[in-house]
Amino acid sequence: MKNNLSIRIITGLLFLPIFYFVAWELPTGYFTVLVMAAAAFGQYEFYRMAHARGFHPNRVLGIVLGALVVMEFYPRLALGPGPIFSITASMILVLVVRLLSPRPVDGAIEDIASTLLGIFYVAMLFAFQVSIHAGIHGRQWLVFLYFVIWASDIGAYSIGIPFGKHRLYEKISPKKSIEGLIGALAAAAGMALLCRSWFMPPVSTGEAIALGLVLASIGTAGDLTESLFKRAAGVKDSGGIIPGHGGVLDRMDSMLFAAPVLYFYLGMR
């Protein structure tokens, strides 16, 4: 257990400078391409879980449409007024392709639903990072998001694994604890303050702490949601590409929920 914890923390710390470089140095167009690739990996993992559950999502179509959705979150590449074109096209094409499929009628609802969920849960939620990056002070806000979520993750494991006694949501994730959540929130708030003093655009101390706590909280909900899917599919991890973490979804599940929240917050700020 301690060895797994050490690997997870070390891997998380190694990823921080990589994500910092990607978010800070790359132009939004190149960043969009990387998000498309990450979303494709995440969709593949999701569709594999759906298949383990007995569903038959259209993986190729779903991943292609997911790439289109991500692309449209970059304003310069949008084919219409925002991503509404790709979202509508995804809905219609998935339905029509399943309609014309030689597969039996039985299971059509499950196949369609799992294909669309892969597009909207994975690719669309991934794509909000592109919109943040393209916005005002987008690089700073995106790095802030990454650092806060990573700190939350490390805080949860550093406190929850050795000290966790009270289960947070046992039927979904037996290992997550209330103590781990407290560690996640404390680490997120501390990282938010560090980011504020380091590179953030003007933001008050209270706003930074509150935003760190909100992002860590909604990130925990994202983590639990992916745990729900894994438990339903009967798998431990979504994949094995990242040592100590599992797959792309295992690493980015918190970000899937936190990025849209940050995007809409910035839009109202």
Per-residue pLDDT of the chain (269 residues; tens, 9 = 90+): 445 555 656 666 677 777 778 888 889 999 999 999 999 999 999 999 999 999 999 999 999 999 999 999 987 776 666 788 899 999 999 999 999 999 999 999 999 999 999 999 999 999 999 999 999 999 999 999 999 999 998 898 888 877 878 888 888 888 889 999 999 999 999 999 999 998 888 899 999 999 999 999 999 999 999 999 999 998 887 876 665 567 889 888 999 999 999 999 999 98
User: What are 103's two structure tokens?
Assistant: 């597969």
Other Cβ atoms within 10 Å of 59 Cβ, number: 18
Q: Dihedral sign for Cα 248, 253, 258, 264, please.
A: positive
Q: Which two tokens stand for residue 51?
A: 């298949």
Under a CB-based contact definition with an 8 Å cutoff, are residues 73 and 131 in contact?
yes
Paired tokens of 148: 């806060």
DSSP-derived secondary structure letter, 253: H
Question: What is the rounded distance in angstroms from the CA atom of residue 93 to the CA atom of residue 86?
Answer: 10
Please report, for residues 79, 159, 174, 213, 262, the alpha-carbon distance to residue 130 in angstroms, rounded to integers and kept in the order given. 16, 32, 33, 22, 12
d(C-alpha 228, C-alpha 3), whole Å: 25
d(CA 148, CA 31): 20
Q: Let me know: does 179 contact 160? Beta carbons within 8 Å.
A: yes
Task: Please name every residue paired with 167 in a beta bridge, in sequence order, or none if there are none.
Answer: 177
Burial class of 93 by CB neighbour count within 10 A (0 to 12, 13 to 18, 19+): middle
Decide: helix, strand or coil at residue 123. Answer: helix
